[in-house]
Amino acid sequence: MKARYRRQLITPAERRVLEFVARGSTNYQIAQALNLSYKTVSLHRSRVMRKLGLRSTSELRRFAEGYLKLGALPGGAHASG
């Protein structure tokens, strides 16, 4: 499956979690900010990793940072460092 197509499979909820991953937030911090359970956040992260064929959290973070820079995530066009 091509990478571009796999990126399109990411759900809006997974995109919201990725925005926080790109900023270095922990699952616990993401859960609090999005009013989700820790387990739900963990599930979103693992689904994104599976969909994109990522093997580590560092790969996930690098992907999320690049995705945010491209403006593909909510708030990406206005992200502050």
Q: Where are the domains of the chain?
A: 3-73
Own/partner pairs for 4-8, CB < 8 Å, 24+ apart?
6/51, 6/52, 6/53, 7/52, 7/67, 7/72
Residue-wise pLDDT for 64-77, tens only, equals 988 777 765 554 44
CATH topology of domain 3-73: Arc Repressor Mutant, subunit A (1.10.10)
Residue-wise pLDDT for 17-72, tens only, equals 999 999 999 999 999 999 999 999 999 999 999 999 999 999 999 999 887 777 65
How buried is residue 76: exposed, middle or buried, by Cβ count under 10 Å (0-12/13-18/19+)?
middle
Per-residue confidence (pLDDT) for residue 42, from 0 to 100: 97
Per-residue confidence (pLDDT) for residue 39, from 0 to 100: 98
